[in-house]
């Protein structure tokens, strides 16, 4: 018996070391990041150059009191100290961001569903101050909220259940998880989350950002190695830095880069002492929200097993949005949840609530219950929010007896395919994977960032535009987040307006022209690509 088990162990070990010749992916992985056209890059730099010159002119005028200075400056007594506002970030803020600031922080005054109401505001001094006109712009098609499965609703089963729990428990918890804030609702939620993900145990936290930044320090420390993707979210970066471990960055979604780092780590060990690393943790995200790309999870797991490291998967955007039954990126690739050591996600995006969770083996979660900063110091989730998560999760799993959850997941997949295909046919440059509901449309030039946001709002469509600190300086984009609550009519209206604005602002930079299919919506056939 023991001989047989030893032989099968070696066989399994050998299986992890062979070269997989195409057996890892069970479905095609279509991801594309079209290169910036040279002319567009040059013109973008020209635009930034002009704005920089005018920025220097305005700073000069403010310094010499020709113009009133409306931003924050040091007091007179502090003018001889180390300057606070002279670095590039503050220069960018004063001179470039202020000019287009009206596209951000727009106040909405209804539930952020498929359509949203917004309060109209005007600025009489070029975006330094805003005043509300009092008018409410109604029924703006919402292409910016992370409402992937459409659970941001003010009526329906989720809302009724949450209202009932609100009348039972109230809104406040008034304590941390370890003291008096551990409600029976939290226990119920955690069992449900563990069942949903297919892991042994799970723990829920009050804030998604805090889940990452407070739990990574509990898992790794000095003497450990963190291999983090180039484009990881700020919460992962903050958690990695707070932990005190050594951080090495691999190129975005590039498995050769990751393998090289892993090999170097195993061969050379820690920097000066050459001792082996205590732990190697790979930090990746399911869907990267600025690029719309999906992590190459089968390859990451194969590498993780080969080099015996641990994997931390942040499924903030992919839980509920990918996979045939909405269980996330692990189900999308057909892998087993036991291969991922720490599965983290948030309830903010697909479940219409707030907070985050971590799922994994029972020993891991029991350890986190005691040692996580978030469990010890942060207030736990509010009861109506917990009920919203429980109801929406049961709906997705189909346990409330209806087909609504499955229909929503399928509707989201159809919307994603349709929207992406139509935008590519129109000639825009779209980044990311074919199946990701996050659609970045490249704008590149700084004036077009402001113009796109304003023109789309004039046509009653709300979009999120992203510029410098969140993206590289020439690669600014507009980011659409699709939802299962968007009907085909809404998507067609949005596409028509995007087409119009694209012609008006000349945003159709793509040089790969797709042959458009005859109008058969929700078609899964592949298309040919012809170059201009």
SS3 216: helix
Q: How far is the CB of 159 from other proteins (least distance, A)?
A: 42
Q: What does the binding site for other proteins look like in residue numbers (CB under 8 A)?
A: 43, 46-48, 50-51, 54, 99-100, 126, 445-448, 450-451, 504-506
CB of 135: closest distance to other proteins in angstroms?
A: 25
- Classify 187 as helix, strand or coil: helix
Residue 46 or 517 with smaller CB distance to other proteins: 46
**C-alpha to C-alpha distance for 442 and 484, rounded to whole angstroms:** 24
As beta bridge partners, residue 136 has: 119
Q: Which of 404, 447 has the CB closer to other proteins?
A: 447
Question: What is the distance between the terminal CA atoms of the chain, rounded to a whole angstrom?
Answer: 65
Q: How far is the CB of 127 from other proteins (least distance, A)?
A: 10
Sequence-separated contacts (24+) of 332-340 with Cβ below 8 Å = 332/294, 332/435, 333/25, 333/26, 333/27, 333/297, 333/298, 334/26, 334/27, 335/297, 335/298, 335/301, 336/198, 337/197, 337/198, 337/199, 338/199, 339/301, 339/304, 339/305, 339/311, 340/301, 340/311, 340/313
Cβ-based nearer residue to other proteins, 251 or 454: 454
48 or 419: CB nearest other proteins: 48
Provide, rounded to whole angstroms, the least separation between the CB of residue 137 and other proteins: 22
Residue 144 CB, nearest distance to other proteins (Å)?
A: 22
Q: Which residue, 225 or 451, is less far from other proteins as judged by CB?
A: 451
Which of 61, 407 has the CB closer to other proteins?
61
- Of 43 and 111, the one with the shorter C-beta distance to other proteins is 43
Shortest gap between Cβ of 128 and other proteins (angstroms)?
Answer: 11
**Angstrom distance (rounded) from CA 368 to CA 513:** 51
The secondary structure of 268-284 as a DSSP string is H-STTT-PPPS-EEEEE
Q: What whole-number distance in Å separates Cα of residue 188 and Cα of residue 126?
A: 51
Q: How far is the CB of 451 from other proteins (least distance, A)?
A: 6
Q: Are the C-beta atoms of 465 and 453 separated by less than 8 Å? A: yes
Positive/negative CA dihedral, 186, 197, 9, 5: positive
Nearer to other proteins, 50 or 163 (CB): 50
Closest CA to 433 of 12, 15, 25: 25
Kindly list the distances between the CA atom of residue 293 and the CA atoms of 31, 208, 230, 475, in Å, as whole numbers in the listed order: 7, 20, 13, 15
In angstroms, how far apart are the furthest CA atoms of the chain?
90
Nearer to other proteins, 67 or 179 (CB): 67
Q: In terms of CB distance, is 9 or 46 closer to other proteins? A: 46
Query: How far is it, in rounded angstroms, from Cα 34 to Cα 355?
Result: 35
Min dist CB 218 to other proteins, Å, is: 46
CB nearer to other proteins: pick between 95 and 145: 95
Asked whether 358 and 203 are in contact (CB, 8 A), the reply is: yes
* Shortest distance in whole angstroms from residue 502 CB to other proteins: 13
Structure tokens at 130: 């805003």
Q: How far is CA 210 from CA 57, 90, 207, 378, 456, in A?
A: 42, 27, 5, 9, 33
Shortest Å distance, C-beta 126 to other proteins: 6
In angstroms, give the least distance from the CB of 445 to other proteins.
Answer: 6
Q: Which of these, 504, 414, 412, 415, lies nearest to 459 by C-alpha position?
A: 504
Residue 515 CA from chain centroid, whole number: 31
Whole-angstrom Cα Rg for the chain: 25
Q: How far is CA 354 from CA 153, 159, 193, in A?
A: 14, 14, 14
């Amino acid at each position: 018996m023991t001989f047989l088990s030893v032989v099968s162990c070696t066989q399994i070990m050998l299986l992890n070391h062979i070269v997989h010749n195409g057996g890892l992916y069970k479905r095609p992985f279509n991801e594309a990041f079209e290169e910036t056209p040279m002319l567009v890059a040059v013109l973008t730099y020209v635009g930034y150059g002009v704005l920089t010159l005018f920025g220097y002119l305005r700073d000069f005028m403010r310094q010499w009191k020709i113009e009133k200075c409306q931003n924050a400056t040091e007091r007179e007594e502090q003018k001889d100290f180390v300057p606070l506002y002279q670095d590039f970030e503050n220069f960018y803020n004063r001179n470039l961001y202020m000019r287009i600031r009206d596209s951000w922080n727009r106040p909405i005054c209804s539930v952020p569903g498929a359509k949203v109401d917004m309060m109209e505001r005007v600025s009489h001094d070029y975006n330094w101050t805003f005043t509300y006109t009092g008018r409410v712009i109604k029924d703006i098609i919402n292409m910016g909220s992370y409402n992937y499965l459409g659970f941001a609703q003010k009526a329906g089963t989720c809302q009724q259940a949450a209202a009932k729990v609100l009348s039972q428990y109230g809104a406040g918890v008034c304590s941390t998880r370890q003291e008096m804030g551990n409600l029976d609702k939290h226990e119920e939620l955690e069992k449900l989350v563990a069942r949903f993900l297919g892991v042994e145990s799970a723990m829920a936290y009050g804030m998604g950002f805090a889940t990452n930044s407070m739990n990574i320090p509990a898992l790794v420390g000095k003497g450990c190695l963190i291999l983090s993707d180039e484009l990881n979210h700020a919460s992962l970066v903050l958690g990695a830095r707070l932990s005190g471990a050594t951080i090495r960055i691999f190129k975005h979604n590039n498995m050769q880069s990751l393998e090289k780092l892993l090999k170097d780590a195993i061969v050379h060990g820690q920097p000066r002492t050459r001792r082996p690393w205590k732990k190697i943790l790979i930090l990746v995200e399911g869907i990267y929200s600025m690029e719309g790309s999906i992590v190459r999870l089968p390859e990451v797991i194969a590498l993780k097993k080969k080099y015996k490291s641990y994997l931390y998967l942040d499924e903030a955007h992919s839980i509920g949005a990918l996979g045939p039954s909405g269980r996330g990126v692990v189900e999308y690739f057909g892998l087993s949840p036991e291969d991922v050591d720490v599965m983290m996600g948030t309830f903010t995006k697909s479940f219409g609530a707030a907070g985050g969770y971590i799922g994994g083996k029972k020993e891991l979660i029991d350890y986190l219950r005691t040692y996580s900063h978030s469990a010890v110091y942060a207030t736990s989730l509010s009861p109506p929010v917990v009920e919203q998560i429980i109801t929406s999760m049961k709906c997705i799993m189909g346990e409330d007896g209806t087909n609504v959850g499955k229909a929503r997941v399928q509707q989201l997949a159809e919307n994603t395919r349709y929207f992406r295909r139509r935008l590519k046919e129109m000639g825009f440059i779209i980044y990311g994977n074919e199946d990701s509901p996050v659609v970045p449309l490249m704008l590149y030039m700084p004036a077009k960032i402001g113009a796109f946001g304003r023109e789309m709002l004039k046509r009653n469509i709300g979009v999120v535009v992203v510029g410098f600190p969140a993206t590289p300086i020439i690669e600014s984009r507009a980011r659409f987040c699709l939802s299962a609550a968007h009907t085909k009519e809404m998507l067609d209206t949005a596409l028509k307006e995007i087409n119009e604005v694209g012609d008006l602002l000349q945003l159709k930079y793509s040089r790969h022209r797709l042959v458009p299919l005859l109008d058969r919506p929700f078609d899964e056939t592949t298309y040919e690509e012809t170059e201009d």
